[in-house]
Amino acid sequence: MNILIGISGGIAAYKACEIVRAFKKRGDDVRAVMTSGAQEFVRPLTLQILTENTVGTETFDATFESEIGHIDLARWADVVLIAPATANLVARMAAGMANDLLTTIILATTAPVVVAPSMNTQMWFNPLVQRNLRTLADEAGYLVVDPDSGELACKEVGPGRLPDPPVLLDMVDAAVAPKILADKKVVVTAGPTREHIDPARFISNPSTGRMGYALARAASAFGADVVLVSGPTTLDAPAGVRLVEVTGARQMHEAVMAEADSADFIVKAAAVGDFRPKQASDQKVEKGAMAGKLELERNPDILAELGQKYGARTDGPLVVGFAAESFDVVERGKAKRERKGAHMMVANKIGGARSAFGADESQVAVISDRGVTEYGPASKDALSREIWREAVALANSRTGEEDGR
């Protein structure tokens, strides 16, 4: 993919080097254009070495124009990423100005434009900045990425940090992704559940929620209206996704069922606890009092209930389950799909070096009436895109449409 990165003059400009390295690592062709302010933070030679291309710095640079003119560069790009985008640059873009090389290219390109603002927290909250960002999103159709929160260079704490490269890579992919889920409502569950014994203790599992969040992020990139029902995690909600936070299995059951009838797809990627204490204490139980048995009772089986309600129907949501197995992954995944009544099952292996819980990469088998297809090892974001393509293909096969690939 041809990626043009535009860099403006904020302290986060140094992060452009890591962003370029991330794109190059996965095989993208990258060119960089820098404002005069950006050159105060990062030298053009650094970006030239990393991109392996001449860096654009001036509108009327004879050397740059002789190699690739600014209009040709606007046509060359498959996507334009502005990172960081300062408040100044955002304002100039919103006003339609073309007073330097970068803004000229932005106006001339027909490629998707991704804008990653980075600035002081109070500047971010300024209503004029917010108005300019809405103009870029609503009128120009640019994809605006919310900044991360945390301690900034000015020592203030709040939103304004440039997101890390993996997030920006995801947003770039989202900008060019085919909208195979346009006008569809998707419900995704993610993370673990917690069943409290008392205020200090609970029963849970090692799920990080990363796969569920990746599925929600990918669905949003594919154009869906996404509801993410999440157990306790340390993850930030993907941009554009409606987050419903829950703790226990009964809360998750209630939240999912409230959204189910209006959904087109339900993906149950959460690791829901099978049991909960029969009687939870609202006060901490002393250690000596816990020496006896802990009575448990079953939690609702959300996937089985969804399968029973929608599995035999063609007019309801397509139900996708997950099966975390330690052996005979495909066969056990097939059996679980039949047992639960799900339309599709994603089986993955837990245990070992590539454990499904917390690992950077996973390997999955997608099981449906269309057969079994294995993917990976690959990142959870890459796998999530393949899972959605499989789900859309299965949904379309039920209605006789093309598979959406």
**What are the C-alpha distances in Å from 268 to residues 115, 300, 318, 405?**
32, 13, 11, 23
Whether 284 has a binding-site annotation, put simply, is yes
The letter for the amino acid at 23 is: F
Whether 300 has a binding-site annotation, put simply, is yes
The number of beta carbons lying within 10 Å of the beta carbon of residue 56 is 27
H-type alpha helices, 43-139? 44-51, 62-67, 70-76, 87-94, 101-108, 121-125, 127-134
Q: Which residues pair with 114 in a beta bridge?
A: 81, 143
Kindly tell me the number of DSSP H helices and DSSP E strands found in the chain.
Answer: 14, 19
Whether 380 has a binding-site annotation, put simply, is no
CA 46 to the chain's CA centroid: 30
H-type alpha helices, 349-403? 380-399
Whole-number Å distance between alpha carbons of 196 and 344: 32
- Among residues 49, 137, 154, 290, the one annotated as catalytic is 154
Whether 25 has a binding-site annotation, put simply, is no
- Confirm whether 154 is a catalytic residue: yes
Contact 390, 367 (CB under 8 A): no
Whole-number Å distance between alpha carbons of 266 and 244: 14
Q: How many CA atoms within 13 Å lie on the side-chain side of 22?
A: 15
Whether 100 has a binding-site annotation, put simply, is no
Whether 127 has a binding-site annotation, put simply, is no
Whether 336 has a binding-site annotation, put simply, is yes
Q: Is the dihedral of CA 158, 164, 166, 168 positive or negative?
A: positive
Whole-number Å distance between alpha carbons of 337 and 320: 9
- Binding residues for CTP, as ranges, are 274, 284, 300-303, 322, 336, 340
- Binding residues, as ranges, are 274, 284, 300-303, 322, 336, 340
Catalytic residues: 154
